[in-house]
């Protein structure tokens, strides 16, 4: 993700890469993009020639780096999840407000063609009131690991980063909130660890209720033994009282109404098995658009970038699922809000 955001900034005419710090590949990244390499992240965070920081570190490091960046007067774009606890999210939001800085969240799915079109259709009432949604997010992680991306993937199994759920669910929850304008109010879930030799969650099945009455079933796993079910890596099946949407954010969006099924829009596929393809135009477009929207946010223009409360909502959803599973109970996010 460090390379992804570096590439996005590099492509924009109104942004400049200044420096990078952290990780075993940071020095090479600096050389590739002609920016400074800072061995000490505190030095980078304090540089006076930097306006904004992009945080792409393991989840549990987001909070301290963001607090420092805000205190140093930097705006921050944080890869999802915002943090690993709701309490840390609140600390980050408070720090940004106290220092009058902007917090953006890496919800690049908002900028994919099919997702934008689905949002437009839902908000326009084309399928009526959204009643139910099925979300599928099974992942065969060996595809990415073998695709030339490099890096140390051990943080996936680090209890400090909580579990796979924080990698997957925030995107789904954010899109559902964005599509409907509703908030998550009830969660029931089962979380499990099926992969041998790890202690963190790798599979969750959940039911969610939103404030507008929408019900959602959610399946997330990185414990697949082989490549995933065709077309199911990230899939939304959305039922309204007037029609249906079959949404694959990386393939086809279809609408069903009295005229039957019709293709509404398509998104060229992203090949995660080849890192050079993954950093090509197809995948990078949404990250470039997201970075441009983050700059709009900083400069006071209308922006569709995910913001601090959107990031908090994703974390609260994940924490609620894990709590529901651990305590075998329903959990009620957003109580008193």
Give the tens place of pLDDT for each residue, 115-166. 999 999 999 999 999 999 999 999 987 766 555 555 667 888 889 989 999 9
- 71 pLDDT above the threshold of 70: yes
> C-alpha angle with apex 48: 46 to 51, nearest 5 degrees?
90
Same domain, residue pair 185 and 86: no
Supply the pTM of this predicted model. 0.94
| Per-residue pLDDT tens digits for 175-212 | 999 999 999 999 999 999 999 999 999 999 999 999 99
Same domain, residue pair 75 and 161: no
Contact status, residue 169 vs residue 324, Cβ threshold 8 Å: no
Same domain, residue pair 99 and 117: no
SS3 134: strand
Q: For the chain, first and last CA: distance in Å? A: 33
Q: Between 277 and 47, where is the model more confident?
A: 47
Same domain, residue pair 50 and 60: yes
Is 290 a member of any domain? no
- 271 pLDDT above the threshold of 60: yes
Work out the burial of residue 334: count CB atoms within 10 Å of its CB; fewer than 13 is exposed, 13-18 middle, 19 or more buried.
middle
| Per-residue pLDDT tens digits for 322-332 | 999 999 999 99
Is 246 a member of any domain? yes
Give the pLDDT confidence score for residue 103 in this predicted structure.
Answer: 98
Give the pLDDT confidence score for residue 97 in this predicted structure.
Answer: 97
Percent over 90 (pLDDT), the chain: 84
Q: How confident is the model at residue 235 (pLDDT cuts 50, 70, 90)?
A: very high
Domain span at residue 182 reads 110-270+307-327
| Domain end marker among 108, 133, 164 | 108
Give the pLDDT confidence score for residue 275 in this predicted structure.
Answer: 64
- What CATH number should be reported for the domain holding residue 259? 3.30.360.10
Give the pLDDT confidence score for residue 141 in this predicted structure.
Answer: 75
Between the alpha carbon of residue 107 and those of residues 7, 22, 79, 245, 256, the distances in Å are 17, 22, 8, 21, 27
Same domain, residue pair 249 and 122: yes
| Per-residue pLDDT tens digits for 4-58 | 999 999 999 999 999 999 988 899 999 999 999 999 999 999 999 999 999 999 9
Contact status, residue 290 vs residue 108, Cβ threshold 8 Å: yes
Residue in 90, 87, 40, 82 with CA at minimum distance from that of residue 59: 82
Is 276 a member of any domain? no
Same domain, residue pair 101 and 121: no
| Per-residue pLDDT tens digits for 60-69 | 999 999 999 9
Q: How confident is the model at residue 335 (pLDDT cuts 50, 70, 90)?
A: confident
Contact status, residue 146 vs residue 152, Cβ threshold 8 Å: no
Is 70 a member of any domain? yes
Same domain, residue pair 223 and 132: yes
Same domain, residue pair 29 and 123: no
Same domain, residue pair 101 and 139: no
Distance of CA 286 to the CA centre of its chain: 12
- What CATH number should be reported for the domain holding residue 82? 3.40.50.720
Is 76 a member of any domain? yes
Is 229 a member of any domain? yes
| Domain end marker among 46, 74, 108 | 108
Spatial separation of the C-alpha atoms in residues 152 and 304, rounded to whole Å? 32
Spatial separation of the C-alpha atoms in residues 305 and 279, rounded to whole Å? 21
| Domain end marker among 85, 108, 131 | 108
What are the DSSP calls for 74-110, one per residue?
Answer: -EEEEESSS-SSHHHHHHHHHHHHHTT--EEEE-GGG
Is 300 a member of any domain? no
Across the chain, mean pLDDT equals: 93
Same domain, residue pair 124 and 99: no
Give the pLDDT confidence score for residue 192 in this predicted structure.
Answer: 97
Same domain, residue pair 116 and 99: no
User: In the predicted model, what is the mean pLDDT of residues 282-296?
Assistant: 96
- Helix or strand (DSSP H, E) at 62: helix 62-71
How many domains does the chain fold into? 2
Same domain, residue pair 256 and 149: yes
Strands 215-221 and 203-210 turn out to be antiparallel
Is 282 a member of any domain? no
Contact status, residue 228 vs residue 248, Cβ threshold 8 Å: no
């Amino acid at each position: 993700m460090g390379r992804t955001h570096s590439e996005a900034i590099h492509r924009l005419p109104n942004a400049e890469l200044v420096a990078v710090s952290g990780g075993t590949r940071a020095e090479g990244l600096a050389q590739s993009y002609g920016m400074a390499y800072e061995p000490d992240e505190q030095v980078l965070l304090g540089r006076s020639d930097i306006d904004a920081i992009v945080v792409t570190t393991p989840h549990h490091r987001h909070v301290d780096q963001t607090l420092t960046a805000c205190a140093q007067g930097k705006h921050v774009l944080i890869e999802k999840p915002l943090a690993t606890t709701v309490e840390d999210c609140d600390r980050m939001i408070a720090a940004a407000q106290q220092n009058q800085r902007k917090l953006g969240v890496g919800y690049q799915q908002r900028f994919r063609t099919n997702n934008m079109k689905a949002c437009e259709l839902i908000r326009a009432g084309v399928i009526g009131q959204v009643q139910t949604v099925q979300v599928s997010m099974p992942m065969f992680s060996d595809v990415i690991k073998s695709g030339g991306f490099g890096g140390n993937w051990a943080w996936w199994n680090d209890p400090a980063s909580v579990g796979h759920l924080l990698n997957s669910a925030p995107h789904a929850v954010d899109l559902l909130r964005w599509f409907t304008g509703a908030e998550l109010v009830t969660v029931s879930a089962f979380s499990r660890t099926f992969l041998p030799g790890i202690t963190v969650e790798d599979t969750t099945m959940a039911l969610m209720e939103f404030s507008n009455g929408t019900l959602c079933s959610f399946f997330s796993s990185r414990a697949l033994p082989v490549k995933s079910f065709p077309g199911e890596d990230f899939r939304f099946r959305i039922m309204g009282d007037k029609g249906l949407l079959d949404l694959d954010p990386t393939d086809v969006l279809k609408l069903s109404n009295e005229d039957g099924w019709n293709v509404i829009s398509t998104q060229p596929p992203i090949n995660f098995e080849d890192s050079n393809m993954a950093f090509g135009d197809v995948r990078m477009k949404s990250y470039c658009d997201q970075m441009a929207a983050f700059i709009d946010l900083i400069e006071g223009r209308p922006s569709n970038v995910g913001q601090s409360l959107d990031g908090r909502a994703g974390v609260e959803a994940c924490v609620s699922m894990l709590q529901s599973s651990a305590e075998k109970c329903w959990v009620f996010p957003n109580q008193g809000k």
